[in-house]
Amino acid sequence: MNRFSKPRIAMTLTATITSLGQKGEGVVEIDGRKVFVPLALPGETIAFVAEGDRGTLVDILAAAPARIVPFCPHFGACGGCQLQHLDRPSYEAFKTALIETPLRFAGIETGVSRFIDASGNGRRRATMHARQEGSGYMRLRSHQVHDLDACPILVPALARAPDIARAAMLAIGEADIAFTATLSGLDVAVRTPKKQARAERLMPLVARFRLARLALNGDMVLQTQPPIVEMGRARVEVPVGSFLQATAAAETILADYVAEAVGKAESVADLFCGVGPFALRLAETRPVLALDNDKPGILALDKARRFTKNLREITAKARDLFREPLTRYELDTFDAVVLDPPRAGAQAQAEQLSMSKVKTIVMAACDPKTFARDAAILVGGGYTMENLVAVDQFVHSTHIELAAIFRR
């Protein structure tokens, strides 16, 4: 702006919200372009300010019947949840559409057969940010942190997570702190861009908050006892940074779904197996090949196998299934294959599976779009998809887990 320019004044507009976008924002059209307004719902007449394709809610002039009162006092400022203001039928319809729409675009006309609430006792995993302005989750549409006193969507064991995050910042400065509630206590992993961060300054947090383990930038600082989680009969020591489902309920629900889908298959491959939530349960009745590129996770799985009685053999190996997927010839030795890839999906592995003779494939996923892509590959190879389920562990957010069975 030069000295002759007049300051730009944002005008308040009035319009009716037509739909919800994929991020849970109300969509309104202005002069043929879409504007996305957080916290607004379809059917509502609102006053808002628009800047490009982003809108800011000023007032709700006529509320939608689907609007309910959020249960958390931080909702609307904290960006951790996006959908606490939406009633249950509309909420489930929105999340179901997140799954069905990408499948339809991929040429698969299959509906969700069940919507499963997998919130359980709350999330056992969370990542908070510690900055000068506070400790908690990022604000809505912001890189600033909303300061939290408590988060009601977490398990009770994580009640002091905001306090731990503040203490970490006081010790080493701005940081991101990942929390996992385990049977043996809290597992806390701190990350900071500061190269000179001194690990010893974090050590008092272990005694103060009775932590099971504390790590800094991927390296263990101090451990009073290994962080343990149960997986079927097994107990697994979770490595720093290894993947776990956000809720224990979701893990159990998905594991039960996998076991039922696999049925009496005598030989099973568990691909993208992580620390073994499926493999360790499946091995109670049959031998399993378990593969993942997470080497510490594979070692933890193998250790759990060795210390768990009455398990069948688990062959656990580190393998990058993105660059080196199991070939169709390797796959043909298995009756069933289970895969639970990360957000990027399993395109290379799906291509090999589509050419294989495997009778049953069970795929879980955390990204509906990459799932739809991979499902289309399998269907194109002659598989039929059935029993598509939505597993809602990230409640009140726009994330959704899903799983389906593919049969020859």
Among all residues, which ones are annotated catalytic? 366
DSSP-derived 3-state class of residue 301:
helix
Characterise 210 by phi-psi region: left (phi > 0), alpha (psi -120 to 50), beta (else).
Answer: left
Centre a 10 Å sphere on the Cβ of residue 353 and count the other Cβ atoms it contains. Answer: 26
305 contacts: CB under 8 Å, gap ≥ 6: 234, 276, 280, 283, 311, 314, 316
Query: 43 exposed, middle or buried (CB, 10 Å; 0-12, 13-18, 19+)?
Result: middle
| Strand intervals (E) in 205-353 | 211-216, 219-223, 228-231, 234-237, 268-271, 288-292, 314-318, 336-339
Characterise 178 by phi-psi region: left (phi > 0), alpha (psi -120 to 50), beta (else).
Answer: beta
Q: Which two tokens stand for residue 144?
A: 């600033």
- C-alpha distances in Å from residue 299, one per residue of 180, 222, 229, 327, 364: 19, 20, 15, 24, 23
**Which stretch of DSSP H or E encloses residue 62?**
strand 54-62
Nearest 5°: the CA angle 20, 23, 26 is: 30
DSSP-derived 3-state class of residue 72:
coil
Q: How many helices (H) and strands (E) does the chain have?
A: 9, 22
CA distance 254 to 278: 8
Q: Which two tokens stand for residue 315?
A: 């062959």
Q: Which two tokens stand for residue 80?
A: 């951790």
Closest residue by Cα to residue 177 from 163, 188, 167: 188
Q: Following CA atoms 83, 85, 87, 92 in sequence, which dihedral angle do they give, to the nearest 10 degrees?
A: -10
